Each structure stands twice: as structure tokens, then as C-alpha cells.
Structure 1
Amino acid sequence: MLALTENVTEIVKQLTSEVPEISALRIAAEPDGQALSVAPAEQAAAGDQVIEQDGATVYVEANASQMLDQMVLDGTVDAEGNIEFALGQQV
């Protein structure tokens, strides 16, 4: 199962508190099966895995869930307020 870093949980909590119609981030596999997309979401889609950690919620689409098994999602916010995500292996 995908794990979240403290950085990502803080980013998600801040995003959902600032934009009430957003309840979580959603990670989905792109149609090519090689890339992932991350977007704010109102609710989980049918079949999504729901990850709740330290007050943050992330929905993971079924195909993406397989790709992300044993991975860790990290994130940062740059000086201009852009959110950047990175994946690493769980240790």
C-alpha cells in the first residue's frame, strides 16, 4: 500500500482546508499505463483505494494502486506555491 510522508499529509490538509469542495488528492494511472496523474478530488471514484493518514486523505485508482504498492509519496511546495510530488521505495 502507498505510504505518505509528513510533507504530503500537510500539503493535503492545507489544500482541503483552503478549498472546501476538495476532500482529498486522487492519484490515477494515465491511459498509457506508464504515467500517473495527481489531482484534487471531491470524492473517491468506484474502486479507489482510500488512504487516510494523519488527517489527510488520498484516493488511489485501482490501476495506480498496483503501480504504487510499496512506494512512498512525498511532496514539496516551491517558492511560487507550486506543488511537486516525488515517489520513492518504502524501506
Structure 2
Amino acid sequence: MLTLTDNASAIVTTLVSRQSEAPDAGLRIHSTEAQGPSGESRLAVLVTTDPEPQDQVVEISGTRLFLDETAAVALDDKILDAGVDDEGAVSFAVLPQVA
């Protein structure tokens, strides 16, 4: 199951609270049509008030994530990390879980 670092949890919570006042809002992680250099799926994020009907809803320590089918499979055994650069841009990193 997907886990979040403390940084990712704090950043996602802050992003969602700044962009939506809806109590059940969350960060939606979904696949894009563009592919990576090796043909792999690329993922994108957006803050939304509700999940799409097919989304898997994951709640970790009050942080709500909505994962489309591709994202749910790709992130099932991963750790989501996040950071903010000096200019305020948020970036996410997907890390392997250590057994």
C-alpha cells in the first residue's frame, strides 16, 4: 500500500487546504497521455473536491489521496515524498518501499 513521508503528508495537506475549502477535498493522482522516455506512464496531480467514480481513495493521517487505476497500480508498493524549492514550487518523488 502507498505510504507518505512526513514531508509529503504536510505538503499535500497544505496544498489541499489552500486550494479548496471542501471538507473531503484531496489530491488526485492520475495518469496522463504523455509517456516517459521509456514508454512508462506519467502521473500528474491536482487538488479536487471529490474523487472520480473509479478512483481509489487513500487516507493517511488525515491526508486524502484519490488515485486513478493506473496510479493505484503504479504506487501500490511505493513511498510518496515531496519537497518545496526556494521558489515555492512543489515536486513529488516516488520511492521504493524497503522490506
Matched, 1:28 2:35: no
Q: How many residues align?
A: 91
SS at match of 2:10: helix
Q: State the distance in 2 between where 1:51 and 1:58 align.
A: 5
Q: Which residue of 1 aligns with 2:51?
A: 44
2:87 counterpart letter in structure 1: E
Is 28-37 or 71-80 further displaced after alignment? 28-37
Q: State the distance in 1 between where 2:11 and 2:41 align.
A: 25
Deviation at 1:38, TM superposition (A): 1.3
Matched, 1:14 2:14: yes
Runs (5+) with no aligned partner, structure 1: none
Runs of 4+ residues deviating >4 angstroms:
none
Runs (5+) with no aligned partner, structure 2: none
Deviation at 1:21, TM superposition (A): 4.2
What is the TM-score normalised by the length of structure 1?
Answer: 0.88
Which protein is bigger by CA-based radius of gyration? Answer: 2
What is the TM-score normalised by the length of structure 2?
Answer: 0.82
Identity of aligned pairs, percent? 36
Matched, 1:76 2:83: yes
Please tell me whether the aligned partners of residues 8 and 81 of structure 2 are also in contact (alpha carbons under 8 angstroms): yes
Q: State the distance in 1 between where 2:32 and 2:19 align.
A: 25
CA RMSD of aligned residues (A): 1.6
